[in-house]
Amino acid sequence: MPIDLRLDPAEVPLLNDLYEFTVSAAFFERGMNAQACFDVGVRRLAANRGYMVMAGVERVLEVLENFRFEEPALAHLDSLGLFKPDFLDFLRRFRFTGTVRAMPEGSLFFAGETVMEVRGPLIEAQIMEPIVLNQLGIASVLATKAARCYSVGAGRRLVEFGLRRAQGADAGLVAARSSYLAGFHGTSDVLGGRRYGIPVFGTMSHSFVMAHEGERRAFEDFARSFPKLSTVLVDTYDTLRGVHNTVAVARKLKDEGISIQAIRLDSGNLEQLSKQSRRILDEAGFHDVAIFASGNLDEYKVADLLKVGSPIDAFGIGTALTTSDDAPAADYTYKLSEYDGRPRLKTSAGKVSLPGRKQIFRALDASGRYRGDIVGLIDESVLMVKREFRPEPDRVVPMLEVMLENGNRVLPRPSLAESRERFMKSFEAVDPRHKAIRNPDPYPVKQSAALGAMIISEKLRAETLQD
């Protein structure tokens, strides 16, 4: 029997909530399968979040293109004793034939915006809800956490170090990809490196030092075995003595043409230890030996370390990143916005949705900086919406792009490098006050006049639906 650390592609349709199937079966019995639109977005951002990074889109598209109910999945649904044979036959022929519009990966988005629209026959679009939210949710949450680290890193090398603390094997892969998308230089995850073409980084373990009879011997052995990866871990015992031992080993190995590349600090007072270590290395003439820091770091600690002038050249960020520990989830929703040609609106307190098919219009100034967004209707033109910005911007761009049509991809799949470049440009275009890691200023997002009028009209109509 295969180990449980896997996900068979044939099982993907069952990675779903039961009510999606019961609701869909009820729709099927009543012939309710006209065209429907579902909006995906985040109602509110988590504390200290001024933006989010769009990620996970490519996985969603891949799932939708290949969504099939194989016989073992149908047999399992049949075993539940809930579904009639004609509905199971319908699922046997099931393919996603709809359209997906979305913001491309690497885009920045804000609260209250539609970031993806799934449109197709009602049952097709309904069944996709959990997998869409599951994949966009974790990927964009982790990409956003990584972007916050990138924003304070001031050009230092950043490495994702969190596989062992990720909440599952797949979450570790998502963290590797999302962090690279959002500015990190690489990952320690070898499978993540292989799957996504991401640079991989690693140093040495405390066990390697502890298994030796002496720290210096451990440093020598590792450097001789891996002269191109000669970062030595100096905090197994007394950290500063470890730095002095690094100097001694570096002098010895220099005659053999082997250079120590860096020391790694993984515990203690990183500000104090990095300054003391830098002084020891410089006084010994090893100005080129870098300092790599790790150990329960996040964007707040990195910012604080650099603010006080800690001479750290690179950071390994693990648990806080791969779990997004201060904001581990986003308030993602998947709401029906149109069915059978009519707008649809949810009016429950605190969870009001937006009716109709939409477009996000982003205003840019002459230098390409973002000025604000308007959530408008799909049939509004850029020229119409441009007049609603005050003052009128130099340029307005629609953010939602058609990515799948009739169930097939219409745009070439971007490489991870291309999505990373999109992120870099998008991130640079946002004013720093919206990117602050503490108490950011809200980015301006408003609704177009046409959408506002539709909301009023649909709220009035909604009042009649419970009569």
Q: What is the DSSP string of 247-273?
A: HHHHHHHHTTT----EEEE-SS-HHHH
**Domain covering 152-322, topology:** TIM Barrel (3.20.20)
Other CB atoms closer than 10 Å to residue 283's CB: what's the count?
10
pLDDT in tens, 194-232: 999 999 999 899 999 999 999 999 999 999 999 888 899
Q: Is the peptide bond between 391 and the residue preceding it cis, with omega within 30 degrees of 0? A: yes
Query: What confidence score (pLDDT) does residue 2 get?
Result: 62
Q: Do 9-142+330-355+400-443 and 152-322 show the same overall fold?
A: no
Residue 8 has pLDDT above 90, yes or no: no
Query: What confidence score (pLDDT) does residue 59 get?
Result: 95
Residue 5 has pLDDT above 80, yes or no: no
CA angle 296, 298, 301 (to 5 degrees): 90
Residue 1 has pLDDT above 60, yes or no: no
Binning pLDDT at 50, 70 and 90, where does residue 7 land? confident
- Percent of the chain with pLDDT strictly greater than 90: 93
**For the chain, what is the mean pLDDT?**
96
Q: What's 330-354 look like in SS3?
A: CCEEEEEEEECCEECCCCCCCCCCC
CA distance 341 to 451: 16
Query: What confidence score (pLDDT) does residue 311 get?
Result: 98
The second-level CATH assignment, the architecture, of 9-142+330-355+400-443 is Alpha-Beta Barrel (3.20)
CB neighbours of 49 closer than 8 A, spacing ≥ 6? 144, 327, 440
- Ordered by start, the domain boundaries in the chain are 9-142+330-355+400-443, 152-322
Residue 56 has pLDDT above 70, yes or no: yes
State the residue for tokens 């991130």. Answer: 427
pTM of the model: 0.96
